[in-house]
């Protein structure tokens, strides 16, 4: 409307060739625009999602993602790649149930434009406490400079 950046946006949602597609156009506080598009579809048992955001400025890299998830007989696989222009993150994970517990593994690789790559892997175990749940996580991280750290977490939660 020409008076000031409102932050308000407009969106469109439709289905094209079996894919759910959403498109948004918005304005940031510094009067630049950002247009995003994302799509999701199931293909041969896999769920595929992809999206991109185009910032209308030369100082901000466009950002996008692609992810694929697949489940068969209680075994789940997932892969995700997130691109931030000069930097990117790739993740992969798998999970299943064993003896009533949820068990999963994950791995992530962060590629930094400044050659400060980070890698991490995790082992995750979850359980049900009736109206509550618990999770134990082990994470091993390599900061790319020769330093590895191990961390453990116990989380207990509930929902309504």
33-47 confidence digits (pLDDT tens): 788 999 999 998 899
pLDDT at 60: 65
**φ, ψ at 129 (rounded to 5°):** -115, 35
Contact 47, 70 (CB under 8 A): yes
pLDDT at 159: 78
How far from 41 is each of 35, 46, 66, 97, CA to CA, in Å? 21, 8, 12, 26
Q: What percent of the chain has pLDDT over 70?
A: 88
């Amino acid at each position: 409307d020409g008076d000031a950046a409102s932050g308000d946006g407009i969106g469109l949602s439709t289905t094209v060739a079996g894919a759910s597609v959403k498109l948004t156009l918005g304005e940031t506080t510094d009067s630049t625009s950002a247009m995003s598009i994302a799509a999701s579809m199931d293909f041969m048992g896999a769920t595929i999602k992809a999206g991109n955001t185009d910032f209308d400025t030369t100082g901000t890299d466009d950002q996008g993602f692609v992810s694929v998830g697949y489940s068969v007989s209680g075994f789940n696989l997932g892969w995700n790649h997130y691109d931030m222009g000069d930097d990117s993150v790739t993740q992969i994970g798998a999970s299943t149930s064993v003896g009533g517990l949820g068990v999963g593994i994950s791995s992530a690789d962060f590629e930094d434009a400044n050659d400060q790559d980070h890698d991490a892997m995790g082992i995750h175990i979850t359980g049900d406490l009736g109206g509550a749940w618990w999770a134990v996580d082990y994470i091993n991280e390599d900061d790319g400079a020769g330093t590895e750290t191990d961390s453990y977490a116990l989380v207990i939660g509930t929902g309504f």
